[in-house]
Amino acid sequence: MKITPNKYFWIIVLILISLTIGCKKKQTSEPKENPPVETNTILVDSLATPETVALFQNLKSLAQTKVLFGHQDDLAYGVGWSVEDGRSDVKSVCGDYPAVYGWDIGDISSTSNLDGVNFENMKGWIKEAHARGGINTITMHLDNPVSGGNAWDNSEAVRHILPGGLYHASYIGTLDLIVDFLKDLKAEDGTYIPIILRPYHEHNHTWSWWGSNSCTVEEYNALWQMTVEYLRDEQNIHHLLYAISPQEIRTEAQYLERYPGDEYVDILGHDDYQLWSLGYVAQLGRTLDMIATLAEARGKISALTEVGVDKVPQSNWWTAYLFAALNYNENARKTAWALVWRNASESHFFAPYPGHASVPDFIMFYNNPLTAFENDLTDLYN
Protein backbone atom coordinates (compact mmCIF):
# COMPACT_ATOMS: atom_id res chain seq x y z
CA MET A 1 0.00 0.00 0.00
CA LYS A 2 1.26 3.46 -0.84
CA ILE A 3 1.46 5.81 2.16
CA THR A 4 0.99 9.46 1.25
CA PRO A 5 2.75 12.29 3.25
CA ASN A 6 -0.71 13.12 4.60
CA LYS A 7 -0.98 9.64 6.20
CA TYR A 8 2.52 10.01 7.76
CA PHE A 9 1.36 13.22 9.42
CA TRP A 10 -1.62 11.53 11.11
CA ILE A 11 0.43 8.51 12.20
CA ILE A 12 2.97 10.81 13.95
CA VAL A 13 0.13 12.78 15.61
CA LEU A 14 -1.38 9.54 16.94
CA ILE A 15 2.00 8.34 18.34
CA LEU A 16 2.54 11.70 20.08
CA ILE A 17 -0.95 11.63 21.64
CA SER A 18 -0.52 8.10 23.01
CA LEU A 19 2.96 8.95 24.41
CA THR A 20 1.54 12.00 26.22
CA ILE A 21 -1.30 9.93 27.75
CA GLY A 22 1.24 7.28 28.84
CA CYS A 23 3.43 9.87 30.58
CA LYS A 24 0.44 11.43 32.36
CA LYS A 25 -0.66 8.00 33.59
CA LYS A 26 2.81 7.33 35.00
CA GLN A 27 2.85 10.64 36.84
CA THR A 28 -0.55 10.21 38.45
CA SER A 29 -0.48 6.50 39.36
CA GLU A 30 0.30 5.49 43.00
CA PRO A 31 3.81 4.21 43.76
CA LYS A 32 3.52 0.40 43.67
CA GLU A 33 4.79 -1.93 46.44
CA ASN A 34 7.57 -4.24 45.29
CA PRO A 35 6.17 -7.63 44.39
CA PRO A 36 7.31 -10.34 46.86
CA VAL A 37 10.56 -11.97 45.78
CA GLU A 38 10.60 -15.71 45.28
CA THR A 39 13.54 -17.12 47.23
CA ASN A 40 13.28 -20.80 46.36
CA THR A 41 11.43 -23.48 44.47
CA ILE A 42 11.95 -26.29 46.98
CA LEU A 43 9.96 -25.30 50.07
CA VAL A 44 6.26 -25.12 50.89
CA ASP A 45 6.82 -21.37 50.98
CA SER A 46 8.45 -19.96 47.84
CA LEU A 47 8.76 -16.64 49.71
CA ALA A 48 10.52 -18.18 52.74
CA THR A 49 13.14 -15.87 54.23
CA PRO A 50 16.74 -16.51 53.11
CA GLU A 51 17.55 -17.72 56.66
CA THR A 52 14.72 -20.28 56.47
CA VAL A 53 15.89 -21.55 53.09
CA ALA A 54 19.45 -21.75 54.48
CA LEU A 55 18.26 -23.75 57.50
CA PHE A 56 16.57 -26.28 55.24
CA GLN A 57 19.56 -26.64 52.94
CA ASN A 58 22.15 -26.78 55.71
CA LEU A 59 20.09 -29.23 57.73
CA LYS A 60 19.66 -31.40 54.66
CA SER A 61 23.40 -31.56 54.04
CA LEU A 62 24.26 -31.96 57.73
CA ALA A 63 21.86 -34.91 57.85
CA GLN A 64 24.13 -36.78 55.46
CA THR A 65 26.67 -37.26 58.27
CA LYS A 66 25.06 -36.26 61.58
CA VAL A 67 21.96 -36.86 63.69
CA LEU A 68 21.18 -33.79 65.82
CA PHE A 69 20.00 -34.37 69.37
CA GLY A 70 16.85 -32.56 70.50
CA HIS A 71 14.98 -32.12 73.78
CA GLN A 72 11.52 -30.72 74.52
CA ASP A 73 11.35 -27.67 76.86
CA ASP A 74 15.07 -28.10 77.54
CA LEU A 75 15.70 -24.55 78.81
CA ALA A 76 12.40 -24.11 80.63
CA TYR A 77 12.70 -26.73 83.36
CA GLY A 78 14.17 -30.10 84.25
CA VAL A 79 14.03 -32.68 86.99
CA GLY A 80 13.97 -30.71 90.24
CA TRP A 81 14.24 -27.18 88.80
CA SER A 82 12.33 -24.62 86.80
CA VAL A 83 13.24 -21.34 85.05
CA GLU A 84 16.92 -20.95 85.88
CA ASP A 85 19.14 -18.88 83.62
CA GLY A 86 21.21 -21.03 81.25
CA ARG A 87 20.22 -24.29 82.95
CA SER A 88 19.47 -27.47 80.98
CA ASP A 89 19.46 -31.09 82.18
CA VAL A 90 21.22 -32.10 78.97
CA LYS A 91 23.96 -29.53 79.51
CA SER A 92 24.32 -30.50 83.17
CA VAL A 93 24.95 -34.07 82.06
CA CYS A 94 27.24 -33.69 79.02
CA GLY A 95 28.41 -30.07 79.10
CA ASP A 96 26.62 -29.13 75.88
CA TYR A 97 23.13 -27.96 74.96
CA PRO A 98 20.94 -29.95 72.58
CA ALA A 99 21.11 -28.90 68.92
CA VAL A 100 17.32 -28.93 68.59
CA TYR A 101 14.79 -27.43 71.01
CA GLY A 102 11.14 -28.47 71.10
CA TRP A 103 8.42 -26.09 72.31
CA ASP A 104 4.64 -26.33 72.43
CA ILE A 105 2.04 -23.60 71.97
CA GLY A 106 -0.96 -25.47 73.39
CA ASP A 107 -3.05 -22.99 75.48
CA ILE A 108 -1.83 -20.13 73.28
CA SER A 109 -4.65 -17.89 74.57
CA SER A 110 -3.23 -18.07 78.13
CA THR A 111 -0.03 -16.60 79.55
CA SER A 112 1.53 -20.08 79.91
CA ASN A 113 1.31 -23.20 77.79
CA LEU A 114 -0.35 -26.46 78.80
CA ASP A 115 2.78 -27.54 80.69
CA GLY A 116 3.18 -24.26 82.57
CA VAL A 117 5.80 -22.66 80.31
CA ASN A 118 5.28 -18.89 80.23
CA PHE A 119 4.99 -17.74 76.60
CA GLU A 120 7.13 -14.63 77.09
CA ASN A 121 9.87 -16.80 78.61
CA MET A 122 9.46 -19.26 75.73
CA LYS A 123 10.09 -16.47 73.20
CA GLY A 124 13.24 -15.54 75.14
CA TRP A 125 14.51 -19.13 75.15
CA ILE A 126 13.81 -19.51 71.44
CA LYS A 127 15.89 -16.36 70.82
CA GLU A 128 18.67 -17.61 73.11
CA ALA A 129 18.80 -21.02 71.43
CA HIS A 130 18.82 -19.43 67.99
CA ALA A 131 21.56 -16.95 68.96
CA ARG A 132 23.77 -19.91 69.96
CA GLY A 133 23.09 -21.57 66.59
CA GLY A 134 20.40 -24.04 67.71
CA ILE A 135 17.19 -25.06 65.95
CA ASN A 136 13.68 -24.47 67.31
CA THR A 137 10.68 -26.65 66.54
CA ILE A 138 7.11 -26.03 67.71
CA THR A 139 4.20 -28.43 68.26
CA MET A 140 0.58 -27.40 68.81
CA HIS A 141 -1.36 -29.29 71.51
CA LEU A 142 -4.28 -26.91 70.89
CA ASP A 143 -7.56 -27.30 72.77
CA ASN A 144 -10.47 -28.90 70.96
CA PRO A 145 -11.82 -25.84 69.08
CA VAL A 146 -15.43 -27.03 69.25
CA SER A 147 -15.86 -28.55 72.71
CA GLY A 148 -13.28 -26.39 74.46
CA GLY A 149 -11.77 -29.55 75.96
CA ASN A 150 -8.04 -30.15 75.71
CA ALA A 151 -6.08 -31.61 72.76
CA TRP A 152 -6.93 -35.13 73.95
CA ASP A 153 -10.68 -34.47 73.68
CA ASN A 154 -11.13 -36.30 70.38
CA SER A 155 -14.76 -35.37 69.85
CA GLU A 156 -15.50 -34.24 66.29
CA ALA A 157 -14.05 -30.81 65.52
CA VAL A 158 -12.09 -30.65 62.25
CA ARG A 159 -15.04 -30.43 59.88
CA HIS A 160 -16.51 -27.59 61.93
CA ILE A 161 -13.39 -25.42 61.69
CA LEU A 162 -12.85 -25.80 57.95
CA PRO A 163 -14.10 -22.95 55.70
CA GLY A 164 -17.89 -22.85 55.88
CA GLY A 165 -17.94 -24.53 59.30
CA LEU A 166 -19.62 -22.99 62.32
CA TYR A 167 -16.33 -22.69 64.20
CA HIS A 168 -14.15 -21.53 61.29
CA ALA A 169 -13.99 -17.89 62.36
CA SER A 170 -13.15 -18.69 65.95
CA TYR A 171 -10.43 -21.13 64.85
CA ILE A 172 -8.94 -18.41 62.65
CA GLY A 173 -8.87 -16.36 65.86
CA THR A 174 -6.68 -19.07 67.42
CA LEU A 175 -4.41 -19.09 64.36
CA ASP A 176 -4.11 -15.31 64.76
CA LEU A 177 -2.72 -15.81 68.28
CA ILE A 178 -0.15 -18.17 66.77
CA VAL A 179 0.67 -15.53 64.14
CA ASP A 180 1.25 -12.93 66.89
CA PHE A 181 3.56 -15.36 68.70
CA LEU A 182 5.52 -16.17 65.54
CA LYS A 183 5.88 -12.49 64.63
CA ASP A 184 7.63 -11.86 67.96
CA LEU A 185 10.40 -14.33 67.12
CA LYS A 186 13.12 -12.05 65.82
CA ALA A 187 16.89 -12.24 66.13
CA GLU A 188 19.08 -9.33 67.30
CA ASP A 189 19.63 -8.27 63.68
CA GLY A 190 15.88 -7.97 63.12
CA THR A 191 15.49 -11.03 60.91
CA TYR A 192 12.83 -13.59 61.76
CA ILE A 193 14.04 -16.73 63.55
CA PRO A 194 13.29 -19.76 61.36
CA ILE A 195 10.98 -22.24 63.08
CA ILE A 196 10.15 -25.84 62.23
CA LEU A 197 6.38 -25.99 62.77
CA ARG A 198 4.97 -29.42 63.52
CA PRO A 199 1.17 -29.02 63.60
CA TYR A 200 -1.44 -31.76 64.04
CA HIS A 201 1.12 -34.43 64.92
CA GLU A 202 0.59 -38.16 65.54
CA HIS A 203 -2.53 -37.82 63.41
CA ASN A 204 -2.64 -41.51 62.43
CA HIS A 205 -3.32 -42.28 66.11
CA THR A 206 -6.64 -41.53 67.76
CA TRP A 207 -5.92 -39.60 70.95
CA SER A 208 -6.37 -36.06 69.53
CA TRP A 209 -9.24 -34.15 67.92
CA TRP A 210 -7.21 -34.16 64.64
CA GLY A 211 -6.58 -37.91 64.96
CA SER A 212 -7.74 -40.64 62.62
CA ASN A 213 -10.98 -41.44 64.49
CA SER A 214 -12.08 -37.83 64.61
CA CYS A 215 -11.77 -36.67 60.99
CA THR A 216 -11.63 -38.14 57.50
CA VAL A 217 -8.45 -38.16 55.41
CA GLU A 218 -9.87 -35.31 53.31
CA GLU A 219 -10.71 -33.27 56.40
CA TYR A 220 -7.24 -33.79 57.89
CA ASN A 221 -5.55 -32.75 54.67
CA ALA A 222 -7.85 -29.74 54.30
CA LEU A 223 -7.06 -28.65 57.87
CA TRP A 224 -3.33 -28.83 57.20
CA GLN A 225 -3.63 -26.99 53.88
CA MET A 226 -5.88 -24.32 55.37
CA THR A 227 -3.38 -23.72 58.17
CA VAL A 228 -0.41 -23.41 55.80
CA GLU A 229 -2.31 -21.15 53.43
CA TYR A 230 -3.57 -18.92 56.23
CA LEU A 231 -0.13 -18.45 57.81
CA ARG A 232 1.76 -18.15 54.54
CA ASP A 233 -0.64 -16.40 52.16
CA GLU A 234 -2.96 -14.40 54.42
CA GLN A 235 -0.61 -13.51 57.24
CA ASN A 236 2.69 -13.43 55.32
CA ILE A 237 4.55 -15.62 57.78
CA HIS A 238 7.65 -16.68 55.86
CA HIS A 239 9.97 -18.09 58.53
CA LEU A 240 8.50 -21.57 58.79
CA LEU A 241 9.45 -25.04 57.65
CA TYR A 242 6.51 -27.45 57.90
CA ALA A 243 7.08 -30.91 59.40
CA ILE A 244 4.52 -33.70 59.45
CA SER A 245 4.87 -36.43 62.07
CA PRO A 246 2.73 -39.54 62.12
CA GLN A 247 3.43 -42.05 64.89
CA GLU A 248 4.84 -45.59 64.76
CA ILE A 249 4.48 -46.06 61.04
CA ARG A 250 5.64 -49.25 59.31
CA THR A 251 5.02 -48.81 55.59
CA GLU A 252 5.17 -46.12 52.93
CA ALA A 253 1.46 -46.57 52.27
CA GLN A 254 0.68 -45.96 55.95
CA TYR A 255 2.92 -42.90 55.92
CA LEU A 256 1.14 -41.37 52.95
CA GLU A 257 -2.39 -42.32 53.99
CA ARG A 258 -3.01 -39.05 55.81
CA TYR A 259 -0.70 -36.63 54.05
CA PRO A 260 -1.60 -33.19 52.68
CA GLY A 261 0.76 -33.40 49.69
CA ASP A 262 4.38 -32.66 48.89
CA GLU A 263 3.58 -28.99 48.25
CA TYR A 264 2.51 -28.64 51.89
CA VAL A 265 5.30 -30.51 53.69
CA ASP A 266 9.03 -29.75 54.01
CA ILE A 267 10.10 -32.36 56.54
CA LEU A 268 8.96 -35.96 56.90
CA GLY A 269 8.96 -36.67 60.62
CA HIS A 270 8.13 -39.68 62.72
CA ASP A 271 7.16 -39.98 66.40
CA ASP A 272 7.94 -43.28 68.11
CA TYR A 273 7.42 -44.36 71.72
CA GLN A 274 7.86 -48.11 71.25
CA LEU A 275 11.63 -48.30 71.64
CA TRP A 276 11.62 -50.07 75.01
CA SER A 277 12.66 -53.55 73.86
CA LEU A 278 15.82 -54.55 72.01
CA GLY A 279 13.60 -56.45 69.60
CA TYR A 280 12.16 -53.13 68.39
CA VAL A 281 15.51 -51.56 67.43
CA ALA A 282 15.49 -53.11 63.95
CA GLN A 283 11.82 -52.16 63.44
CA LEU A 284 12.54 -48.50 64.16
CA GLY A 285 15.65 -48.77 61.98
CA ARG A 286 13.56 -50.07 59.08
CA THR A 287 11.03 -47.26 59.53
CA LEU A 288 13.79 -44.62 59.56
CA ASP A 289 15.25 -46.21 56.45
CA MET A 290 11.84 -46.10 54.73
CA ILE A 291 11.16 -42.45 55.68
CA ALA A 292 14.64 -41.29 54.67
CA THR A 293 14.14 -42.97 51.28
CA LEU A 294 10.74 -41.32 50.91
CA ALA A 295 12.19 -37.93 51.88
CA GLU A 296 15.18 -38.26 49.56
CA ALA A 297 12.97 -39.04 46.57
CA ARG A 298 10.93 -35.91 47.28
CA GLY A 299 13.85 -33.56 47.98
CA LYS A 300 12.84 -33.38 51.64
CA ILE A 301 14.40 -34.07 55.04
CA SER A 302 13.52 -36.95 57.38
CA ALA A 303 13.57 -36.70 61.17
CA LEU A 304 12.75 -38.65 64.31
CA THR A 305 10.62 -35.78 65.57
CA GLU A 306 9.80 -37.50 68.90
CA VAL A 307 11.28 -40.56 70.50
CA GLY A 308 11.96 -41.87 73.96
CA VAL A 309 10.86 -44.06 76.83
CA ASP A 310 9.41 -42.45 79.93
CA LYS A 311 11.91 -42.52 82.83
CA VAL A 312 14.60 -44.07 80.58
CA PRO A 313 14.37 -47.48 82.26
CA GLN A 314 17.43 -49.04 80.54
CA SER A 315 20.76 -47.55 81.62
CA ASN A 316 22.19 -48.29 78.13
CA TRP A 317 19.17 -46.91 76.26
CA TRP A 318 21.13 -44.17 74.47
CA THR A 319 23.64 -46.43 72.76
CA ALA A 320 21.98 -49.88 72.65
CA TYR A 321 18.52 -48.64 71.65
CA LEU A 322 18.47 -45.11 70.23
CA PHE A 323 21.89 -45.06 68.59
CA ALA A 324 21.42 -48.63 67.36
CA ALA A 325 18.16 -47.69 65.61
CA LEU A 326 19.63 -44.51 64.10
CA ASN A 327 22.67 -46.50 62.97
CA TYR A 328 20.53 -49.29 61.43
CA ASN A 329 21.78 -48.61 57.90
CA GLU A 330 23.02 -45.86 55.62
CA ASN A 331 19.55 -44.37 55.15
CA ALA A 332 18.55 -44.49 58.82
CA ARG A 333 21.76 -42.59 59.56
CA LYS A 334 20.40 -39.77 57.36
CA THR A 335 17.74 -38.94 59.95
CA ALA A 336 18.29 -35.20 60.56
CA TRP A 337 17.47 -35.13 64.26
CA ALA A 338 16.05 -37.19 67.13
CA LEU A 339 14.15 -35.30 69.84
CA VAL A 340 13.23 -36.71 73.24
CA TRP A 341 10.28 -35.37 75.20
CA ARG A 342 10.24 -33.24 78.33
CA ASN A 343 11.86 -33.63 81.75
CA ALA A 344 8.87 -32.76 83.91
CA SER A 345 9.78 -34.56 87.12
CA GLU A 346 11.38 -37.72 88.53
CA SER A 347 8.28 -39.60 87.43
CA HIS A 348 8.04 -38.16 83.89
CA PHE A 349 11.28 -37.54 82.01
CA PHE A 350 12.92 -38.59 78.74
CA ALA A 351 16.41 -37.06 78.89
CA PRO A 352 18.98 -37.89 81.57
CA TYR A 353 19.62 -35.54 84.50
CA PRO A 354 22.56 -35.52 86.94
CA GLY A 355 22.58 -38.70 88.97
CA HIS A 356 20.41 -40.75 86.61
CA ALA A 357 21.64 -44.27 85.84
CA SER A 358 21.83 -43.64 82.09
CA VAL A 359 24.25 -40.69 82.37
CA PRO A 360 27.49 -42.61 81.49
CA ASP A 361 25.75 -44.16 78.47
CA PHE A 362 24.39 -40.76 77.41
CA ILE A 363 27.94 -39.38 77.46
CA MET A 364 29.00 -42.20 75.14
CA PHE A 365 26.07 -41.28 72.89
CA TYR A 366 27.16 -37.63 73.09
CA ASN A 367 30.75 -38.54 72.12
CA ASN A 368 29.69 -40.71 69.19
CA PRO A 369 30.71 -39.04 65.90
CA LEU A 370 27.23 -39.58 64.45
CA THR A 371 25.47 -37.41 67.04
CA ALA A 372 25.61 -33.62 67.05
CA PHE A 373 24.84 -31.22 69.89
CA GLU A 374 24.85 -27.44 69.88
CA ASN A 375 28.65 -27.01 69.95
CA ASP A 376 28.93 -29.13 66.80
CA LEU A 377 26.76 -26.76 64.76
CA THR A 378 28.20 -24.35 62.24
CA ASP A 379 26.07 -21.44 61.06
CA LEU A 380 22.89 -23.08 59.81
CA TYR A 381 21.23 -19.79 58.92
CA ASN A 382 23.59 -18.53 56.25
* Cβ distance to ligand BMA smaller for residue 192 or 350: 350
* Cβ distance to ligand BMA smaller for residue 115 or 262: 115
* Cβ distance to ligand BMA smaller for residue 115 or 184: 115
By CB under 6 A, the count of residues binding ligand BMA is 6
Residue 162 binding ligand BMA, by CB under 6 A: no
List the x/- string, 61-100, binding to ligand BMA by CB under 6 A: ----------------------------------------
* Cβ distance to ligand BMA smaller for residue 6 or 347: 347
| Spatial contact of 314 and 278, defined as CB atoms under 8 Å apart | no
User: Using the rule CB under 6 A, which residue among 45, 104, 248, 266 binds ligand BMA?
Assistant: 104
* Cβ distance to ligand BMA smaller for residue 130 or 342: 342
| Nearest Cα residue to 299 out of 63, 11, 3 | 63
* Cβ distance to ligand BMA smaller for residue 264 or 276: 276
Shortest reach from residue 109's CB to ligand BMA, in Å: 16
> Which of the residues 202, 219, 248, 374 is marked catalytic?
202
306 is catalytic: yes
User: Using the rule CB under 6 A, which residue among 42, 47, 114, 359 binds ligand BMA?
Assistant: 114
Residue 257 binding ligand BMA, by CB under 6 A: no
Instruction: Write the secondary structure of the chain as one string of H (helix), E (strand) and C (coil).
Output: CCCCHHHHHHHHHHHHHHHHHHHHHHHHCCCCCCCCCCCCCCCCCCCCCHHHHHHHHHHHHHCCCCEEEEEECCCCEECCEECCCCCCHHHHHHCCCCCEEEEECCCCCCCECCCCCEHHHHHHHHHHHHHCCCEEEEECCCCCCCCCCCCCCCCCCHHHHCCCCCCHHHHHHHHHHHHHHHHCCECCCCCECCEEEECCCCCCCCCCCCCCCCCCHHHHHHHHHHHHHHHHHHCCCCCEEEEECCECCCCHHHHHHCCCCHHHCCEEEEEECCCCCHHHHHHHHHHHHHHHHHHHHCCCEEEEEEECCCCCCCCCHHHHHHHHHHCCCCCHHHCCEEEECCCCECCECCCCCCCCCCHHHHHHHHHCCCEECHHHCCCCCC
> Which of the residues 219, 248, 306, 374 is marked catalytic?
306
Shortest reach from residue 332's CB to ligand BMA, in Å: 24
Shortest reach from residue 94's CB to ligand BMA, in Å: 22
Residue 115 binding ligand BMA, by CB under 6 A: yes
Shortest reach from residue 170's CB to ligand BMA, in Å: 23
Shortest reach from residue 207's CB to ligand BMA, in Å: 10
User: Using the rule CB under 6 A, which residue among 342, 373, 377, 380 binds ligand BMA?
Assistant: 342
Residue 141 binding ligand BMA, by CB under 6 A: yes
Residue 271 binding ligand BMA, by CB under 6 A: no
CA 121 to chain centre: 20
Shortest reach from residue 49's CB to ligand BMA, in Å: 28
C-beta atoms surrounding 115 within 10 Å = 16
Binding site for ligand BMA (CB under 6 A): 104, 114-115, 141, 341-342
**Active site members:** 202, 306
